[in-house]
Amino acid sequence: MTFGDLFTDPAYRLYTICALLFIPFFIISIVVQMKVSSTFNKYNVMPCSSGIDAKTYARNFLLQNGVNVSFTSVSGSLTDHFNPKTGTIALSDSVRNSASVGAIGVACHEAGHAVQHAKKYFFSSARLALVPIVNFASGLLWPIFIIGFVLGFASPYTAVGKVFIIAGLVVMGLSLLFSLVTLPTEFDASRRALKYLKTCMPSEEVAGARKVLTAAAMTYVASFMMTSLQFLMFLARLLMSMNRNSR
């Protein structure tokens, strides 16, 4: 490839654009993660006027939807999650017994995932079905990178390199699909949580919870952007090799 290919070869142009966007997208991902922490910390010191703790809010939300799951503890901060396999909601130390607006928003968001699972929400079910496939594929990603680089991955114009590019494209494609399905799942869980909170919290407190959940949702958007970029880079390399072979 030459510099002139940047203007004549669409695949080479796509790869160059993706490569140039990688660092800005990576920086955006870091900024978004910092925004989540700062927003949560801000509203995690804002007490809820009712004085009711986050776990109780989440439990009442579940009962209102006819869903019964157990709660467990998990260490760390913002490590809260719903485990559909065990039917449990794990709440972190900073959320579980807190009566702050931020903690209540996070706990009810996880309860929203439990409601999705109970009601067989399409995107939640699709995400769950993809988990073992994506985990297996992702476990192969780094070996693909390492072996492919050693055997010819660095050049998309060799037969071996092309095989590993295709393998990488498949892995990134599965990751992209998982990331895509995750977006509506996360936004819907927040929507369900906020809809419930509007019935039992003052509007200014609901607004605070919304800011926390919106900031958290942006991490999934940033992840989707990064995964899309990596997928396009693999696709561009494959197209480059096909264009070279057709000459």
Q: What would the two tokens of residue 1 be?
A: 């490839």
Q: What would the two tokens of residue 84 be?
A: 């559909």
Catalytic residue among 110, 186, 204, 205: 110
Phi, psi for 193 (deg, rounded to 5): -65, -45
Residue-by-residue DSSP string for 41-91: HHHTTSB-TT---HHHHHHHHHHHTT---EEEEE-SSS--EEETTTTEEEE
Q: Are 83 and 190 in contact (CB under 8 A)?
A: no
Closest CA to 216 of 197, 232, 196, 193: 193
110 is annotated as an active-site residue: yes
- From the CB of residue 154, how many other CB atoms can be counted at a distance below 10 Å? 10
Q: What would the two tokens of residue 194 be?
A: 């906020």
User: What residues are labeled active site?
Assistant: 110
